[in-house]
Amino acid sequence: MENLHSLTAHKLKELMARGETDPSAILEGVFARAEKVEPKVKAFVLSGKERARKAVAGTARKNGKLAGIPVLLKDNLCVKGEATTCGSKILAGFKPPYDATVVRKLEAEGAILIGKANMDEFAFGSSCETSCYGPTKNPWDTACIPGGSSGGSAAAVAADETIMALGSDTGGSIRQPAALCGVVGLKPTYGRVSRYGLIAFASSLDQIGPITKDVRDSALLLSVIAGYDEMDSTSVDLPVPDYSNALVEDLKGLRIGVPKEYFVKGIDGEVEASVRAGIGVLKSLGAEVKEISLPHTEYAVSTYYIVGPAEASSNLARFDGVQYGFRAAGADDMIEMYIKTRSEGFGNEAKRRILLGTYCLSTGYYDAYYLKAQKVRTKIREDFDKAFSVCDCIVTPTSPTPAFKIGERASDPLSMYLSDVYTIPANLAGLPAISIPCGFSGSGLPIGMQVLAKPFDEETIFRTAYAFEQGTEFHKRKPNL
Amino acid sequence: MRYETVIGLEVHLQLATKTKAFCGCSTKFGQRPNSQVCPVCLGFPGSLPSLNEEAFRFAIKVALALNCRIQAIVKFDRKNYYYPDLPKNFQISQYDMPLSYNGFVDIAVDGANKRIRVKRVHMEEDAGKLMHPEGEDYSLVDYNRGGMPLLEIVTEPDMSSPREAYDYLTKLKAILEYLKVSDCDMEKGSLRCDANVSIRPEGETKLGTKVELKNMNSFKGVRNALEYEVKRQDSVLEDGGKLVQETRLWDADKGITTSMRTKEEAEDYRYFPEPDLVPFVVEKEEIERIRKTLPELPEAKAARFKAAFGLSDYDAGVLTSQVDLADYFEECVKLYPNAKTVANWLMGDVMATVNEKNIDMSELALAPAAFTGLLKMIDSKAISGKMAKEVLAEAIETRIAPEEIVQKKGLSQISDAGAIESVVQGVLKKEAKTVSDYKSGKKAAFAFLVGQVMKETKGKANPAVVNEILKKSLGE
Amino acid sequence: MKTIDKKTVEKVAHLARLKLDDKELELYSGQLASILLYISKLNEIDTANVIPTSHALATLKNVFRKDCLKRSLTPDEALENAPSKEGDFFKVPQIIEGK
């Protein structure tokens, strides 16, 4: 059968169940596709062909929820014995001695891991340009960025180089590239998915989540990776619902809030038009739409750029050339070794965030920056608490603009940071949020719409997103590569 | 000018849990380097800590035993600094909200009670171990110790002499041993002590320049180091010099302290709440539940010993200074009700042997039943007190029961009057000259005759019985 | 909140064990200053009686692990990634105190 690579996991499962295809054909289909388009997209940093073929031929479980389905991992997820580098020179050669919990869960359900996807170095970025391997390109326009930091994962799914992918989201790193690449990206509730084995950027914000071709696959992949893990104290011991039950086409009685603060200056006209049209679709499906206010929205980016870098500066202290990864040559003593290794091993954006975070935590600045940000974080969370007393979910744009040109914002970090303005609040408040395709710009670039819900209410997100998807055709369009 | 001494102590205690503070690696001492490590305690990318429930319970026990208040919400913080024994380059510790605070330990000073305030007791993780091969320009790291659960127990600067510091440590160690939360072994490093010491003119309320002392590997080392340091500071001031705030290392071999580094600027540890661990809320009921599991502590035990057994302050204090000794004493008293005799023997010969052999009471190969059996043999006059001392020493040395030693060596004392009578008569016959000397008033001759009887019986005759029979035979 | 000068950036860099050349120092000082200026927006909010949030989910508490042994790595596994080792040890350059 042709074009297996372009299908969703649930469709492939159907075909396999009917005996019309098999894991080997799917895998080879995906590899053939990658062979053809990867030179243009550059989504992979490590191809796991051999391992994947071996898995299909024997070792993989045959009867799991994802049996025979190729899955691509962001390069910050640890796989035992496989290079895991976070797109950074400082982790050159690092092969973790253990599997991330999500990796164990995927393999327990028969998923076929096909390699590692490119990302901004240590997930610092919104464009996938800061990777030490060079940028990934947007499949819809290879002169444009795919978004970031999970740009490789999103681009690979959009380009049909994999069936599904995992990304991680600290301030929008799943949703923003999903929006810019025209695929579905979900950041689950903080604590829904174990972070054990995810190389940390900001521990209190990071979540692993699915990047898929449609909402049903998103629900399927979440159901596999979600759940309490005693290795992650911040994962939550709540039962994992059967998310497929939430996939209904009816939105009657659903109260949708549209925050007025998300439609102010800075938003691209085409993005606003598409999202407003999308809200209209939701209304036509039976939802009740009302304007709400999230008054502290404009402070989210500031808060995030204190909390994130502060935690990152500490999380990244361990990269010092002692136990693993890169060690600079020619240092005569310990401190010199630290300094040379870190100065040569980290890229510019990583250094910038480490400096910013270190500064915000240092004596004399802690109260003014870090503590202040933690307090504003409370205010932002309270905004959402209030909003969710009058609505079941919140709909916003995912990104203020469609994909921009490679290099366009590279020299102005602040403008880059502002591309996460709509996605950051969900991380600060720990909320689940999805980005789904809701339109295209005049130049044919995808536009994403974001749906947020209360903590652990991924079901409402899936219900809303699924109904929208069934009522529209955006997710069916494919880039011309 | 006369100066007074101000000392505060900082004790680090390794908790004797099976596994480390934040991972399931063993805490066993002295294993192959880097064989008790995992991604978590090696700080590998992607790994996360999860708190050992038992370590937390141990910590609360210690806090309660030191009369501390428990924080309503316990959180952990990261202490950020770069050092190769610290795999993550931050230590999980507690900063502004320690597990517990405002406690105290009472010690006796010149017969009066002195209260040493405990400022805080908090949990943290231990670092790995660095080795510096002689003459090489590199170091080696073993992370087996990294991530072991530690308690930091910090006092206020309430001690005013090295002796008080020593007594505080002794008392603290006794309490910790009673709790059975650590093996408290300074040589193995499971109990470590740093001291802050300064002097100031008598009557002055402001603290003098503080010196931090490190590298003291025994309680005596702490006392000696403090004594040396107080003298050193004294002579610096006497000579018109100025003290500098610094860290000094104790050199036990040379008996001096040497400067390690001067603190020009405070380190910037950039503490912030550990985001990978959630807060721990200790409910009042839980605290009370743990409080109920606390054993009887040294002070309470000493009071009970005094009341129940009529012991003196001193005896009760010594017997309760080690939990093993106190337990041993109580076992003995159950088998042999004369508590004072038990106390005397324990504090005398038994402790002397234990100290001489440099072993713990727990390693003493003499069961309370065997020991009290020995006391009973003295009472029944089966052996003399002098013999008992020898038997005791041998029993401890050879691990053979005292009764068996006595029997094997035929040491049993001859108290049988008939048997002694015949020996006495023989001696009197042989020593007719001495007998007549005695009768003519030379009283010293009596002792000679006793000696002869003892010699004939190879010292086994009960001296009291010999005396009695001799006197009777000589017509007294 | 005040802006950041080169000297502070250098100090912060050392705290983070980074060394910046003159060009980098120039670049980062300028960029950090503009980021901090943007961040200073937070001063508009009165947070006098606000409890800080350090965890996304305020409800999560008391998550423990039982004191049960788990398999450790072998020394070979532990040292497999080490840039430098000797026997069962990680090897690092000499440590010069107070530097």
Class of domain C1-44: mainly alpha
Contact C92 B84 (CB under 8 A): yes
pLDDT digits (tens, 9 = 90+) for A405-414: 999 988 888 8
Q: What is the dihedral of CA A58, A62, A64, A70, to 10 degrees?
A: 60
Chain B residue numbers with beta carbons less than 8 Å from the beta carbon of C98 are 261-262
List the subunits that have 3+ CB pairs under 8 angstroms with A: B, C
What contacts B225, CB < 8 A, 6 or more positions away? Answer: B195, B213, B216, B250, B257
Mean pLDDT throughout A215-238?
Answer: 97
Mean pLDDT of B138-161: 98
Regarding whether A324 and A217 lie in a shared domain, the answer is no
pLDDT in tens, C56-78: 887 889 999 999 999 999 999 99
Contacts of A188 by beta carbon, 8 Å cutoff, 6+ apart: A207, A208, A209, A222, A226, A432, A458
Number of domains, chain A:
2
Tens-place pLDDT, residues A361-383: 999 999 999 999 999 999 999 99
Q: Helices B445-456 and B432-439 meet at what angle, rounded to 10?
A: 150
CA–CA distance, B200 with B209 (Å, rounded to integer): 8
**CA torsion through residues B338, B342, B345, B347, sign:** negative
Per-residue pLDDT at A201 exceeds 70: yes
- Closest-CA residue of A relative to B142 is A323
Chain B CB contacts of A77 below 8 Å:
46
Closest CA–CA distance from residue B156 to any residue of chain C (Å): 28
More confident residue, B66 or B429: B66
Query: In chain B, what are the domain boundaries?
Result: 3-286, 296-408, 417-473
Q: Tell me whether residue A194 is in a domain.
A: yes
Q: Span A211-238, mean pLDDT?
A: 97
Spatial separation of the C-alpha atoms in residues A283 and A291, rounded to whole Å: 13
At B258, give phi and psi (nearest 5°): -130, 150
| Chains interfacing with B (3 or more CB pairs < 8 Å) | A, C
Does residue A419 sit in helix, strand or coil?
helix
> Could you tell me if B322 lies within 8 Å of chain C, comparing CB atoms?
no
pLDDT reported for residue B476: 66
Q: Is residue B264 pLDDT above 60, yes or no? A: no
Q: What is the ipTM of this complex?
A: 0.96
At residue A313 the predicted structure's pLDDT band, cuts being 50, 70 and 90, is very high
Torsion angles phi and psi, residue C65, rounded to 5: -125, 145
Residue A154 inside a domain? The answer is yes
Of the residues A235, A255, A275, which one is the last residue of a structural domain?
A255
What percentage of residues in chain A have a pLDDT greater than 70? Answer: 100
Contact B281 C62 (CB under 8 A): yes
Q: Is B221's pLDDT higher than 70?
A: yes
Please determine, for residue B282, whether its predicted confidence score (pLDDT) is greater than 60.
yes
Report which of residues C58 and B295 the model is more confident about: B295
Q: What per-residue confidence (pLDDT) applies to B446? A: 86
- From chain C, pick out residues whose CB is under 8 angstroms from the CB of A327: 83-84
| Residue B453: Cβ within 10 Å count | 22
Q: Pseudo-torsion of CA C6, C8, C12, C13, nearest 10°?
A: 20
Residues A232 and A308 in one domain: no
Q: What is the pLDDT of residues B113-140, one digit of tens each?
A: 999 999 999 999 999 999 999 999 999 9
Q: Would you place residue A444 in the very low, low, confident or very high pLDDT band (cuts 50, 70, 90)?
A: very high
Determine the Cα–Cα distance for residues A14 and B429; give it in Å rounded to an integer: 121
CB of B278 within 8 Å of a chain C CB? The answer is yes
pLDDT at residue B209 tops 80? yes
Q: For chain A, positions 166-205, list CB contacts with chain C under 8 A.
A: 189-191, 204-205
- Predicted pLDDT at B411: 61
Distance from CA of C31 to the nearest CA of B (A): 22
Nearest CB among B43, B270, B277 relative to A358 is that of: B270
Please answer yes or no on whether B275 and A323 come within 8 Å at the CB atom. no
Q: How far away is chain C from the Cα of B275, in angstroms, using its nearest Cα?
A: 6
- Which of B48, B83, B137 to mutate: most A Cβ within 10 Å? B48
> A130 and A198 share a domain?
yes
Chains contacting C (3 or more CB pairs within 8 Å):
A, B
In this structure, are A213 and A315 located in the same domain?
A: no
DSSP assignment of B224-243, as one string?
A: HHHHHHHHHHHHHHHTT---
Q: For C78, which of B42, B268, B280 is closest by C-beta distance?
A: B42
Query: Which tokens belong to A477?
Result: 């369009």
Residues A265-282 have a mean pLDDT of 95
Helices of type H across A44-100: 49-54
User: Which residues of chain B are within 8 Å of residue C54 when distances are taken between CB atoms?
Assistant: 75, 272-273, 275
Instruction: Give the phi and the psi of residue A90 in degrees, each rounded to 5.
Output: -70, -20
**What residues in C contact B35, CB-CB < 8 Å?**
72, 74-75, 78, 88
What number of other Cβ atoms are within 10 A of residue A407's Cβ? 12
Q: Give the gap in angstroms from C-alpha A239 to the nearest C-alpha of chain B.
A: 20
Smallest Cβ–Cβ distance between B82 and the set A76, A91, A320 belongs to: A320
Give me the pLDDT at residue B410, please.
65
Q: CA C58, CA A239: separation in Å to the nearest integer?
A: 19
Q: Return the higher-pLDDT residue of B301 and B414.
A: B301
For residues A34-62, give the mean pLDDT.
94
Residues of A involved in catalysis: 74, 149, 173
B417-473 CATH fold: Arc Repressor Mutant, subunit A (1.10.10)
- The residue behind tokens 């925050």 is A259
- Token pair belonging to A252: 């009657």
**Which residues of chain C from 16 to 55 reach within 8 Å of chain A, CB to CB?**
16-20, 24, 28, 31-32, 34-35, 38-45, 47, 50-55
Taking alpha carbons only, the member of A114, A7, A139 closest to residue A54 is A114
| C50/A378 CB distance under 8 A | yes
Least confident stretch, A256-260, B55-59, B247-251, B408-412: B408-412
- For residues A43 and A144, state if they share a domain: yes
Residue range B66-116, pLDDT digits in tens: 999 999 999 999 999 999 999 999 999 999 999 999 999 999 998 899 999
**Does some domain include residue A290?**
no
Across chain A, what does the average pLDDT equal?
96
Mutate to test the interface with C, among B34, B54, B137, B246 (most CBs of C within 10 A): B34
Residue A1's pLDDT is 60
Same domain, A226 and A303: no
Residue B437 tokens, joined: 């000397």
State whether C16 and A358 contact (CB < 8 Å).
yes
Residue A208: inside a domain, yes or no? yes
Tell me whether the omega of the peptide bond preceding residue A149 falls within 30 degrees of 0, making it cis. yes
CB contact under 8 A, A334 and C1: no
pLDDT of residue B407: 75
Give yes or no for C96 touching A (CB within 8 A).
yes
Asked if A448 contacts A435 with a C-beta cutoff of 8 angstroms, the reply is: yes
Residue B414 pLDDT > 80: no
Answer whether A331 touches C (CB < 8 Å). Answer: yes
What band does B385 get if pLDDT is binned at 50, 70 and 90?
confident
For residue B448, name the pLDDT band (cuts at 50, 70, 90).
confident
Q: What is the spatial distance between Cα A204 and Cα B273, in angstroms, rounded to a whole number?
A: 10
Inter-chain contact C54–A204, Cβ cutoff 8 Å? yes
> For position B365, what pLDDT does the model report?
79
pLDDT at C1 > cutoff 50: no
- The residue among A194, A294, A302, A346 with the most chain C CBs within 10 A of its CB, best to mutate, is A302
Inter-CA distances, A477 with A175, A182, A442, A472, B93, Å: 18, 8, 15, 11, 53
Buried b vs exposed e over A33-65: b needs ≥16 C-beta within 10 Å? bbeebbeebbbbbbebeebbbebbeeebeeebb
CB-CB contact of A75 with A87 (8 Å): yes
B53 close contact with C: CB closer than 8 A: yes
pLDDT, mean over chain B: 91
Tokens at C75, concatenated: 């020394």
3-state secondary structure (DSSP) of residue B2? coil
Region of A81 (left: φ > 0; alpha: ψ -120 to 50; beta: rest) is: left
Tokens 């909003």, located at residue: A387
CB contact under 8 A, A233 and B51: yes
Buried b (16+ CB within 10 A) or exposed e, B205-235: eeebeebbbbbbeebebbbbbbbbbbebbee
| Residue A109 and residue A14 share a domain | yes
Which of A4-8, A37-41, A144-148, B437-441 comes out lowest in average pLDDT?
B437-441
The shortest C-alpha distance from A392 to chain C (Å) reads: 19
- The continuous run of DSSP H or E covering A217 comes out as helix A215-225
C16-68 pLDDT, tens digit per residue, is 999 999 999 999 999 999 999 999 999 999 999 999 999 988 788 999 999 99
Provide the residue range defining the domain that includes A85. 4-255
Residue C92: C-alpha distances to residues A130, A210, A331, A333, B80 (Å): 30, 40, 10, 8, 20
Nearest CA in chain B to A75: B46
In the structure encoding, which two tokens stand for residue A288, read together? 């009740």
